Amino acid sequence: MSRARDFLVSAATLLVGRGRPTLPERERIIPDKPGRPGWELVAVALFALGALAAIAFPVVYGLAEDIPHETQFLGLSVGLAFVLIGAGLVVTGKHLIVTEEIEEDYPAQEHPEEQELLVQVVEESGSRLTRKRLFLLSLGGAGAALGAALVTPVVSLGPVFRVAPLLGTPWRRGRRLVDENGRPWKASDIDEQTFYTAFPEGADKEDLGASVVLVRLPQSRFRLPPALAHYPAEGIVAYSKICTHAGCAISLYRTPMFDPTDPKPALVCPCHYSTFDPADGGSVLFGPAGRKLPMLPLQVDGSGTLRAAGNFDEAIGPSWWGVRIWKPNPPS
């Protein structure tokens, strides 16, 4: 029994005792200042709480199926574990460890002797060369040539000097306009006051040249330039859905609720609020777009289905250096 008691006592002493081993006499580097022992307990408590929070993490992880707000509890446990242990370390740094404010010289601004030595070494290294400039020129030329050779494979990354892909669209004369699920749009489906998205039948919908917005306007609103006068069919107009400014999809249609005061109908891109006028061929009403919205000529076939009567009057999508601002062409 007494041995067990001795063991317990010594274990307790080792655990909580604040006795320090006596050091042999030597000059201290870090000055010895008395601290406040309370902070030691604060740090220990923070570490213990941090450990508890950390232990909670695998527990929550294991129970994840059974508890709601799994992500919140996981974040709380691991986050608190980090914060508490971190706070314990900050307490350690601020209160337990002696903070010395030491003075020290900044490093030398420069080393003239070494500089001189370096210059001399480099200069003397080429003393055998008689045509120094020629030598350096050939070495530099060789390096540049090798660099150019190594950069060449970059060209494989994509098409080079070929902007044709930027201009192509899947629209052809006679191509039917279909909705997202491939059903053809009939002219009678298109109502005023709202807009519809259409694609060329059978084409890749992701192609920037594919999607168009359809809008029906009352005849009284139209102010199309003569060259575009025949683009609408039965009061329906089609414009590329891709904004000519930054390539986002135009997904807002502003329609006046009360004609005399409200602004006129407009197609708006939600990215930077480029605003286009569907009544006059897609000109820019407001916003940063520098080029009008490309217009698609339409026709209605015998069954009432909407078909393209040609290609767009402008290049689709965002502009680039050298893109032609197309003059409207007749659709035939």
Partner 1 sequence: MGRPDLEAEPALVIRKTVRFLDQRTGDAPLLRKLLRYLFPDHWSFLLGEVALYSFITLVLTGTYLALFYNDSTKQITYHGPYAPLRGQRMSEAYHSVLDISTSVRAGLLIRQTHHWAADVFVAAILLHLLRVFFTGAYRKPRELTYVLGLAMLMISLLEGYLGYSLADDLLSGMGLAIGYAVAVSLPLIGANLAELIWNGPFPGTDAFFSRMYIAHVFLIPGLIGMLLVAHLGLVALKHHTQFKSEPRQTERKLVGVPTFPGQTPRSLGLFLVTAGVLFLLGGLAQINPIWLWGPYHTYLSTNGAQPDWYLGWLIGGLRLVPSFDLTIGHYTLVPNPFWGGALFPLVVFGFLLFWPQLERRFITHDYGYHNLLDRPRDAPLRTAIGLGVFIWVALVFVAGGVDRVTVMFDVDYVTMIWIFRVAIWVVPVLVGLIAYRVCVELQQGEEAKRVRKRAEHRAKALAETTDIA
Strand boundaries in 183-274, DSSP class E: 195-200, 212-216, 236-240, 252-254, 266-268
Region 123-152 residues binding partner 1, contact defined as CB under 8 A: none
Report the nearest approach of partner 1 to the CB of residue 146 (Å): 22
Region 26-55 residues binding partner 1, contact defined as CB under 8 A: 30
Region 191-230 residues binding partner 1, contact defined as CB under 8 A: 197, 199, 205-208, 210-211
Task: Tell me whether residue 224 or residue 284 sits nearer to partner 1 (CB atom).
Answer: 284
296: contact with partner 1 by CB under 8 A = no
56: contact with partner 1 by CB under 8 A = no
Q: Which residues, in sequence order, are bridge partners of residue 296?
A: 238
Kindly state the DSSP code that residue 271 receives in the 8-state scheme: T
Angle between helices 70-91 and 38-63 (to 10 degrees): 160
- Which tokens is 309 given? 């009567």
179 alpha-carbon distance from chain centroid:
30
For partner 1, which residue of 41, 45, 52, 98 counts as binding (CB under 8 A)? Answer: 98
Residue pair 133/141 in contact (Cβ under 8 Å)? The answer is: no
Task: Tell me whether residue 110 or residue 259 sits nearer to partner 1 (CB atom).
Answer: 110
Q: Which stretch binds partner 1 (CB under 8 A): 15-23, 111-119, 124-132, 231-239?
A: 15-23
For partner 1, which residue of 21, 37, 68, 112 counts as binding (CB under 8 A)? Answer: 21
Which of 212, 210, 214, 230 minimizes the C-alpha distance to 222?
Answer: 230
Kindly state the DSSP code that residue 221 receives in the 8-state scheme: G
Region 106-125 residues binding partner 1, contact defined as CB under 8 A: 106-107, 109
